[in-house]
Amino acid sequence: MSDDLGISMGLYNTLSAEGSPLTERDRMLVPIMTMLSLMLGNLSPEEMIGAGLLTTAFLVGTISRQCFRSGGKLRLLGTGFAIAVACAGILSFEHLKVPSVDQRPEIYGKTPFEKRPKVPGVGGELVCDGSSFLDDYGRTLMLRGVNLGGDSKIPVQPKGDTWRPDSFGDPETVSFVGRPFPLEEADEHLGRLRSWGFSFLRFIVTWEAIEHAGPGKYDAAYLDYLLAVIRKCAEHEISVFIDPHQDVWSRWTGGDGAPRWTLDKIGFNVSNLHTSGASVTHQEFGDPFPRMVWPTNYNRLAAATMFTLFFAGDVYAPNTLVDGVPVQTFLQGHYIAAMRKVAQTLQNETNVLGYDTLNEPSNGYVGLKSLNKALFPAPMGWFMSAFDGMRLGSGESLKVARFSAPLILHSMETVNPDGILAWKSQAHDVWQNEGVWQAASGSEPAKVLRSDHFALNAKGGPVNFMRDFMAPFFDRYREAIHAEHPSAVIFAEGFIDPNKPEHDPAPVNMQGGPKVAWAPHFYDGLTLILKRFRPWVALDLHSESPVLGERAASAAISSNLAKVRKSGASLANQPRGAPILVGEVGIPMDLDRDADGVAEAYKTGDFSAQIRALDRTMRALEDNLFSFTLWNYAAANSHKRGELWNDEDLSLFSRDDQGSSATEDLNSGGRALQAAVRPYPMKTCGTPLRLHFDALSASRRFEFEFIPTKCKDGAPTVLFVPSYQYPNGVTFESTSNNDAQEDNHDLANNVIYFSHPPQDAPVTIIIEANKT
C-alpha cells in the first residue's frame, strides 16, 4: 500500500505543478481523498465521495483550512484530523441503511386497463399571471407531469443505444419515428400517465430528429409522427410543452441533440473527436462506461467550441464563417428554423401549450478568465484545462489526470497517443484562426496568445452570459415560435454553469410580456452522483457544504428549491414576477449498484431507497408549491441499460418491473409510485398557501390550505385523489363551517371537486385513506 501511496502522491505532485487546472481547494482535497481510497480500498468510490462531502465543511470551512495555511506540524495535524473524520463518515455512510417502506401490493390500488380513470386535463390556453399559471376560468394551476421520454434522445433506426459501437450509423438517414413509443403503444402509456395525475408533459424532441439530413432538410415522416402522438395525448386530455433536448451538444460529443452536420460545417473531423480527446463517448469508450462522466464533455474541445460559437460566435469568432454566413447566425438560425417548423406543424393543436428554449445549454468558453483553467469545477473523469483541450485537438499527445470519481485520483493517462487531429486540418482550427493560441511547431511548444480572450463581452466589460447572450437568443427564439403559434408560452431555461451550484437569475432584458415562464432544473446532487441515498445527508447549494441529520437534510433540499424560485423572479422584468415550472427533477432508480453494476432493488424488488429519495424531493417541491415535470418516463427502459443513453436510469416505468400483472394492472411497471403518485390541487379557485402529503404513513394524510376566491362561471377547485393511494376511498374534511361549501367526489376518475364562496380567511382541506 505504501508503494501505491507513493505513486499516488507522485501523481499529485505532477498535478500541483504550474499550469495545473486544479484549484487551490482541490489541491488540498485530492491527496486526502486519494489516500483514503488507497487505505480503504475495499470501499467503493461512492463511499469515498460520501465521506469527502460529509467532511468538506470541516476541511474547507474550519480547522483544516487554518492548519494547511500554517504549514509544518499543523499541516500534518490538519491532514490527520481530516482523514480521521472522513473515515468515520465513510463507515456511517455505508452502515446507516435506509429504513424500509411497506410496499405490499394489497395496500395500494390496482387499475384495470379497461377502467382507466378519466382525469381532467389542463384545458384551454395557459395564462401566465404574475408568478402563477392560470386556466381560462382564472383558477391557479399546479402543473404536474413527466419528461417523455429519456429514450427520445436516440434514434430508433439504426438503433441508437449508446452502448452499441455501431449506433452512430448513417447520420443523414436516421429515424426517430417511434420515440417516445410506437403509436400502437400510445394508449397504454398515456393512459398510465393520466391515471397517475401527470396531465402536463415535457415532450422531448431533438434538433437531430428534425433536421438530420442536412441544413434546411426536415424529416417529414418524423413531423407527421410527432403530430400523431400529440393528438393521442389530446385524446387522453394530456397537454404538453415541447422540449428541444440536448446534452453536451450532440451524440458525437457524448450526449444528444444537434445533427452531425453542425460539427462538420464548423470544420471538425467528426470521426476523430473521441480518439483525439475532443469528446468521450460511450460508443467508442465501451463498457463499463464511467458513471456520470458524460457531463465532463462540457469541458472538452468539441462541446465547448460549439456552444461558444452558437451563443457568442459574433464576439469570440468573428472571422469564422459557414457557407459565407457568420457562424453564430448560421447555427442559431438553423436551430430556430427547425423549431419553428415544429411550431408550424403543431400550431393548431390546442393541447400544445408551450415550448422550452433549449435543454441545459452551456456557456462554453464564454466568461473563462484563463485558458489554463478547467470549465468543469470538480476533478472528475479526464480533467483538463481549456488549453489542454485545444492542444489535444491539434494532434498533440498529453498526459492528463484521470479521476475515478470526484476528487479521487486514479492515474495519469496519455490522451490522444497517436496524435489524431480533431479538425479536418490545422487550417480549420477555429481558435488558432481567431488568434487565441498557437499550436506546437517543431521545437516551439504550444502557447496561449490571448488567455483572456473569452473573459470580456463585446463592450469590453465583464461577461454576464445570461444578459449578454442568453436573453438575445431567447428573444429570437420567441419571435420565431410566436410567428407560428402566438398563444404558446415560452418556457425559458437558463444555462448550465458547473462552477455555480445555484441558478443564475433569469434575464430581466428578455422580452415577451405575459407569455413567458421560467423552467429551471433541480436534482438532489448527492443522490444523483453517488447513486446512493442516505436520508440524513444533503448538500446545501448556498454554502456548498453538507447538511447532516434527516430533518436538516430535508430542510436543505426545500431551501435549495426556494432559491430556485427566487432565480425566476426577474424574468423579462415582469413587475409581479413570472411563473416557474421545474422542468427536470427526479432520482436515479439504479441506486446501490453492486460490483457487476446491478442495482439492489432489481435483485430484491425492494424500492425503499428510491421511494424515500423521491419522497424527500417531492415534499420539497410541495413545500414551495411548484409545478414540475419529473425526469422521466421511458417506454424502452430496462434494468440492464436504463434509458439506453449513457447508462442513465431514472425512469418511473420499466417493462422489467411489470411482472405477472403486466396485462391486469395499469400501474404495473411503475417504480417508486408510493412517492410519485400523490394527491394535489390541480386547479384551485383561490390562492394556494400550503400543501403537505404524508406518503409513507398508513393514513396517507393530505392537507391543502388556500384562500378561496371567485372564479369564472363558478368553476370549482379540482383535487387529484389517486385510487393508487386510496384504494378503499377517503374521508374528506374542510376546516370551514360555511354552509355554502360543497364537495363532489368522482373517485372513479381520481378527482374531487370542491366549491367554496370567496373569503379572506384560509380554508384547509384534509383527506385521509379509509381503513377498509
* pLDDT tens digits along 497-513: 777 666 667 777 777 67
* pLDDT tens digits along 192-244: 999 999 999 999 999 999 999 999 999 999 999 999 999 999 999 999 999 99
Quote the pLDDT of residue 84.
53
What is 677-769's CATH superfamily? Golgi alpha-mannosidase II (2.60.40.1180)
Question: Which distant-in-sequence residues (6+ apart) come within 8 Å of 556 by Cβ?
Answer: 538, 539, 540, 547
> Using CA atoms, how far apart are residues 429 and 267, in angstroms rounded to an integer?
7
Amino acid symbol at 66: Q
Q: Are the beta carbons of 322 and 203 closer than 8 angstroms?
A: no
Q: Are the beta carbons of 218 and 224 closer than 8 angstroms?
A: no
Enumerate the CATH 3.20.20.80 domain ranges in the chain, comma separated. 136-253+324-364+459-675
Mean pLDDT of 740-756: 94
In order of 45, 67, 548, the CA distances from 93 in angstroms are: 12, 26, 11
> Using CA atoms, how far apart are residues 623 and 605, in angstroms rounded to an integer?
30
Enumerate the CATH 2.60.40.1180 domain ranges in the chain, comma separated. 677-769
Mean pLDDT of 302-316: 98
Who wins on pLDDT, 52 or 171?
171
- Reply yes or no on whether the pLDDT at 18 is more than 80: no
Give catalytic residue positions.
360, 584
- Reply yes or no on whether the pLDDT at 625 is more than 70: yes
Which percentage of the chain shows pLDDT scores above 70? 86
Residue 727: which pLDDT band, with cuts at 50, 70 and 90?
Answer: very high
Element (DSSP H or E) covering residue 609: helix 608-623
* pLDDT tens digits along 653-709: 999 999 877 788 999 999 999 999 999 999 999 999 999 999 999 999 999 999 999
* pLDDT tens digits along 109-133: 999 988 899 999 998 899 999 899 9
Residue 365: which pLDDT band, with cuts at 50, 70 and 90?
Answer: very high
- The side-by-side arrangement of strands in the sheet containing 730-734 is 686-693, 702-708, 763-769, 730-734
Quote the pLDDT of residue 627.
98
| Residue 501, Cβ density class (10 Å: 0-12 exposed, 13-18 middle, ≥19 buried) | middle
In order of 148, 249, 470, 478, the CA distances from 246 in angstroms are: 14, 6, 16, 18
Quote the pLDDT of residue 105.
87
pTM tops 0.75, yes or no: yes
In order of 96, 192, 397, 631, the CA distances from 110 in angstroms are: 33, 12, 59, 24
Quote the pLDDT of residue 332.
98
> Using CA atoms, how far apart are residues 697 and 686, in angstroms rounded to an integer?
28
* pLDDT tens digits along 89-114: 544 555 567 889 999 988 999 999 88
Residue 9: which pLDDT band, with cuts at 50, 70 and 90?
Answer: very low
Who wins on pLDDT, 577 or 6?
577
Residue 714: which pLDDT band, with cuts at 50, 70 and 90?
Answer: very high
Residue 178: which pLDDT band, with cuts at 50, 70 and 90?
Answer: very high
Quote the pLDDT of residue 379.
83
Who wins on pLDDT, 428 or 86?
428
Straight-line distance from the first to the last Cα atom of the chain, in angstroms, rounded to the nearest whole number: 62
Quote the pLDDT of residue 68.
45
- Reply yes or no on whether the pLDDT at 47 is more than 80: no
Residue 491: which pLDDT band, with cuts at 50, 70 and 90?
Answer: very high
Mean pLDDT of 363-383: 89
Q: 136-253+324-364+459-675 in CATH: which number?
A: 3.20.20.80
> Using CA atoms, how far apart are residues 641 and 589, in angstroms rounded to an integer?
12
* pLDDT tens digits along 392-411: 999 999 999 998 877 778 88
Which percentage of the chain shows pLDDT scores above 90? 73
How many residues in total does the chain contain?
772
Highest mean predicted confidence (pLDDT) among 21-35, 319-333, 498-512, 556-570: 319-333
Mean pLDDT of 409-430: 95
Q: Are the beta carbons of 622 and 688 closer than 8 angstroms?
A: no
Give me the phi and psi of 414, to 5 degrees please.
Answer: -80, 120
Quote the pLDDT of residue 137.
96
Q: Are the beta carbons of 517 and 491 closer than 8 angstroms?
A: yes
Mean pLDDT of 523-545: 87
* Least reliable range by pLDDT among 174-183, 266-275, 585-594, 654-663: 654-663
Quote the pLDDT of residue 59.
47
| Average pLDDT score over the chain | 89
- Reply yes or no on whether the pLDDT at 28 is more than 70: no
Mean pLDDT of 328-356: 98
Quote the pLDDT of residue 476.
97
Quote the pLDDT of residue 14.
52
